[in-house]
Chains A and B, each alone.
Chain A
Amino acid sequence: GDSVTQMEGPVTLSEEAFLTINCTYTATGYPSLFWYVQYPGEGLQLLLKATKADDKGSNKGFEATYRKETTSFHLEKGSVQVSDSAVYFCALILTGGGNKLTFGTGTQLKVEL
Chain B
Amino acid sequence: KAGVTQTPRYLIKTRGQQVTLSCSPISGHRSVSWYQQTPGQGLQFLFEYFSETQRNKGNFPGRFSGRQFSNSRSEMNVSTLELGDSALYLCASSLYDGRTDTQYFGPGTRLTVL
A-side residues, CB < 8 A to B, are 32, 34, 36, 42-46, 49, 51, 89, 91, 93-96, 98-106
Q: Please judge, given known A-B contacts A44-B90, A89-B43, A105-B42, whether A100 and B56 are in contact too, CB under 8 Å.
A: yes
Interface flags for B69-95 (1: CB within 8 Å of A; 0: not) read: 000000000000000000000101010
The answer to whether A46 and B104 have CB atoms under 8 Å apart is yes
Q: Please judge, given known A-B contacts A43-B108, A105-B42, whether A93 and B100 are in contact too, CB under 8 Å.
A: yes
The answer to whether A43 and B106 have CB atoms under 8 Å apart is yes
Q: How far is the CA of A34 from the CA of B101 in the complex (A)?
A: 11
The answer to whether A95 and B45 have CB atoms under 8 Å apart is no
**Size of B's binding interface in residues, CB under 8 A:** 27
Q: How far is the CA of A17 from the CA of B21 in the complex (A)?
A: 41
Which residue of B96, B103, B107 is within 8 Å of A101 (Cβ)?
B103
10 A-B residue pairs with CB within 8 Å: A45-B105, A98-B56, A99-B33, A99-B55, A99-B101, A99-B103, A101-B45, A101-B92, A104-B42, A105-B42
Which A residues lie within 8 Å of B101 (CB)? 99
Which B residues lie within 8 Å of A46 (CB)? 102-105
Which residue of B55, B100, B106 is within 8 Å of A96 (Cβ)?
B100
The answer to whether A34 and B102 have CB atoms under 8 Å apart is yes
Which residue of A49, A89, A103, A104 is within 8 Å of B102 (Cβ)?
A49
